[in-house]
Chain A
Amino acid sequence: MHVFLCDFLLDIVQNSLEADSGTVSILIEEDRRMIRFTVADDGKGMSEETQAKAQDPFYTDGIKHAKRKVGLGIPFLKQTVDETGGEFSLTSAEGKGTTVRFGFDMMHVDTPPFGDLPSTLVAVFSYPASCEIVAKRSLSTSLGSGKWEVRRSLLLDALGDLRSSGSLVLLEQYLRSQEDDLDAIRISHDPEIR
Chain B
Amino acid sequence: MAKMTVEDLRKLREKKQNELNKRDINGKDCQVIIGMGTCGIAAGAKVVLDTFLKVLDEHKITNVAVTQTGCMGLCYVEPTVEVLVPGMPDTIYGKVDADTVRKIVVQHIIDKKLVADHVYDRPSADIIKNGGR
CA–CA, A178 to B4, complex, Å? Answer: 7
State whether A168 touches B3 (Cβ < 8 A): no
* Segment from B62-70, B77-85, B87-95, B112-120 that makes contact with A: B62-70
CA–CA, A181 to B70, complex, Å? Answer: 33
Chain A 148-168 near chain B by CB (<8 Å), digits 1 or 0: 100000110111100111111
Contacting B at CB under 8 A, from A103-149, are: 116, 119-120, 122-123, 126-128, 148
Q: Which residues of B contact A6 (CB under 8 A)?
A: 46
Nearest CB in chain B to that of A67: its residue: B73
State whether A176 touches B1 (Cβ < 8 A): yes
Chain A 3-17 near chain B by CB (<8 Å), digits 1 or 0: 100110011001000
Nearest CB in chain B to that of A1: its residue: B42
Q: Which residues of B contact A3 (CB under 8 A)?
A: 42, 44
Q: Which of B39, B49, B65 contacts A163 (CB 8 A)?
A: B65
Residue B50 at the chain A interface, CB threshold 8 Å: yes
Q: Which of B36, B49, B56, B67 contacts A119 (CB 8 A)?
A: B49
Q: Which residues of B contact A126 (CB under 8 A)?
A: 66-68
Q: Which residues of B contact A65 (CB under 8 A)?
A: 71, 73
State whether A168 touches B53 (Cβ < 8 A): yes
CA–CA, A14 to B71, complex, Å? Answer: 12
CA–CA, A83 to B27, complex, Å? Answer: 45
Chain A 165-194 near chain B by CB (<8 Å), digits 1 or 0: 111111111101110110000000000000
> Closest approach, in angstroms, between the C-beta of B113 and any C-beta of chain A?
20
Looking at A1, A116, A164, which has the most chain B CB atoms within 10 Å of its CB? A164
Contacting A at CB under 8 A, from B1-25, are: 1-4, 6-10, 12-13, 16-17, 20, 24
Residue B110 at the chain A interface, CB threshold 8 Å: no
Residue A73 at the chain B interface, CB threshold 8 Å: yes
Residues of B participating in the A interface, judged by any CB pair closer than 8 Å: 1-4, 6-10, 12-13, 16-17, 20, 24, 27, 36, 38-39, 41-42, 44, 46, 49-50, 52-53, 56-57, 61-71, 73
